[in-house]
Every structure is written in C-alpha cells, then in structure tokens.
Amino acid sequence: MAGLPLECILMSAYALSLTLIALFLEWVAGHAHRRSLRVSTTGFTYHADRDIGSYPKDQHLFPVFSDSVKGNVIYRAPASACNACPSKAACTDSNHGRQIERNLTDLEYGMKRFHRAGSLTLLALASLILVVELFRTAGLYPRIMLLVSLALLIMFIRRVAGGLIPSVIQA
C-alpha cells in the first residue's frame, strides 16, 4: 500500500464507515418494520382465493375499503360478532369490529421510509467524498481504486433507492 496516499486511504475508510452505518440503519429499519407488521396482524390469516381474512375464532374479516393509489385494503369483522366475542378484550378495543390494513404494494411508508431517506443521505455523502477524493488524487492506481469503490457504492444506492422510488430500479 506504499503507492496510496494516506488521505486517499482515510477518505475511503470514512466513506466505507458511512456505508456500513447506512447498511446497519437499513437492517434495523427493516427489522422494526417486519416486527410491527407481525404484531398488528397476529392471529390473522388471509385467504387470497376468497379475498377475506379470518381469525382463530372462525370470524371472517371482509374488505370494507380499498385505496388503489396507495395499494391498501382495509378488512373488518362485523361489529356484532366482535362485540359478542369473549376474546374481544385481547383482540380489539373498537366497538366497530376488528380492523386490519393490508398493503398490496411494495411502497414504503412511515418510519421505514424515514430511515431509508437517512440511509440514502449517508450513502450520498459517502459517494460525494469519493468523488472529491477522485479529483484530488494523482496517480492511476488510487483513481482506479476510487472508481471501483464509487461504482460499487452507486450500485448499492440504486438498490436502496429502489424501495423508496420504484422507478429507479427500472431505469
């Protein structure tokens, strides 16, 4: 590594650390998102052939609202069935029946979208550091190393941005 300037090594290491922080943030956000989805639909079974949901007490949830723009469908059990059920306290506190929201698209929302934007900001900063260092560095070998690192980072940014902006993947 005698041919690489110390500044180039330090800037590359800094860009790598920002990328690793963004990866960790993505992993944590994905884990929290999956966990919150599991908790909100505990005991719920979706039957795609009939487009209804059911609970262990053999109560069916029927679609009551569909938003084709956001790709959400809301399923609700009849209020009369839920209010008479002995397990109502453990299931819902609503007097209108148990309600489940099902997302039909892969578009992100809420906190996962917020964390995705934070990850992309860190990745953009890491790529900016590599671009600046690319122009500051003299010599062929350091520039090749920076270009390869930048290409890998851009591929990762495109993968991460795909969940936030679906059209980026098709470009």
Which residues lie below 8 Å from residue 21, measured CB to CB, with a gap of 6+?
122
Q: What's the pLDDT score for residue 2? A: 59
Per-residue pLDDT tens over the stretch 136-162: 888 888 888 889 989 988 888 887 777
| Closest CA relative to residue 150, chosen from 171, 132, 168 | 132
Per-residue pLDDT tens over the stretch 117-138: 888 899 999 999 989 988 888 8
Q: What's the pLDDT score for residue 21? A: 92
Q: What's the pLDDT score for residue 17? A: 92
Per-residue pLDDT tens over the stretch 8-63: 888 889 999 999 998 898 888 888 877 877 776 677 777 777 777 777 667 778 88
Question: What's phi and psi for 52, nearest 5 deg?
Answer: -135, 165
What are the structure tokens assigned to 168, written together? 């980026």
Residue with tokens 């992309």: 120
